[in-house]
Structure 1
């Protein structure tokens, strides 16, 4: 039975708008980082969109805190939402929830648990990889001794870092770039572990089901 509390209704109503705000946040940030020779007017517009999206996250967080009735404990019990609010790199994760929200609104069945974990982990990896590439490229380009000369270099480095390969041909040299690298390493390990564990669990269930359905004596 669906939760019909005021907080639950608020969360259902804001899922899609916040996912759209996440897309706008990511798009405006990408334009600011990648568009060479961006005019001052376009730069200000992108900055306004970025700040407006962040303001929506702040407003949503404040409303849910108020409706929860938990007081300061809300920060601890909703630590992921707090991180998403504080760290711009994680805000695109809101987009991952858009698919399930749309499916629910149309009354369609959701994916099985294992499929949902793998699909959401894949989407989260792609979004965080792109956002991480933008963030590290913004810090590294033009830095003395930088090896990340193009956005393509940043994407290559992010893919190698998320996959926990770490070739070492491209590395961040700035303090902020290295701090972003630590975050991407942690995210890569967590997502890789989630996908690997879920896939292994799914295989075990499939093999167990096959054994249960096999006729006796074989």
Structure 2
């Protein structure tokens, strides 16, 4: 059996466990941030253990698939989403659509349309990045001198306005790490907005083109 088939078989077997690991990663990070400082030391240690275990699981998965592919740098270029997931395991649920399409293909069913995939990726990415960004900025901003983000609600409000590229400016990060997170959230917001806008524009063009082709010629 060739390397590509071995890689595909490995992916099929690890999809569900890695998705569960991603959800556990997000849950552990949320508990560590939101329950602190009332979280006991044992609970904090357990959260850190789950986070490290999730990182290790994703690192092993990435290394195995890189080895099975036999493509070296070509694997990295062809699996950008997996490379991002290695840095942020909480994005693993984005692979739901890939798993779903593989199941449909196995049963001979048509795959999702391009527009459905774009909307799914953009919507899921917005929710995951919004929640993770709010947790991260709240973790680094609370208690900082001159901070305007004092509660998790403030962090969620800031993340929503930043991802939507509105940026009201009523709350903003003041710490270096918080501002670095802000740069990432802004970049993701622009990318997601561009993807959705471009896909919607392309869909409208196809609809109007199809209507023009079906319309009988005028006098």
Calculate the TM-score normalised by the size of structure 2: 0.89
- The answer to which of 198-207 and 107-116 deviates more is 107-116
Write out aligned runs for 1:36-185 (5 A).
36=36, 37-86=38-87, 88=88, 91-102=89-100, 104-105=102-103, 107=107, 108-185=109-186
8 Å contact from structure 2 (residues 4, 69) kept in 1: no
Which stretches of structure 1, 4 residues or longer, exceed 4 Å deviation after superposition? none
Aligned counterparts of 1:43 and 1:102: Cα–Cα separation in 2: 35
Specify whether residues 211 and 76 from structure 1 end up closer, same or farther in structure 2 by C-alpha distance, changes over 3 A only. Answer: closer
8 Å contact from structure 2 (residues 141, 175) kept in 1: yes
8 Å contact from structure 2 (residues 22, 93) kept in 1: yes
Structure 2 unaligned spans of 5+: none
Cα drift, residue 72 of structure 1: 4.7
8 Å contact from structure 2 (residues 118, 196) kept in 1: yes
Partner secondary structure for residue 129 of structure 2? helix
Calculate the TM-score normalised by the size of structure 1: 0.90
8 Å contact from structure 2 (residues 19, 92) kept in 1: yes
Aligned length: 213
- The answer to which of 95-104 and 163-172 deviates more is 95-104
1:22 alignment partner in structure 2: 22
Instruction: Quote the RMSD (CA, aligned, Å).
Output: 2.0
Aligned counterparts of 1:75 and 1:44: Cα–Cα separation in 2: 33
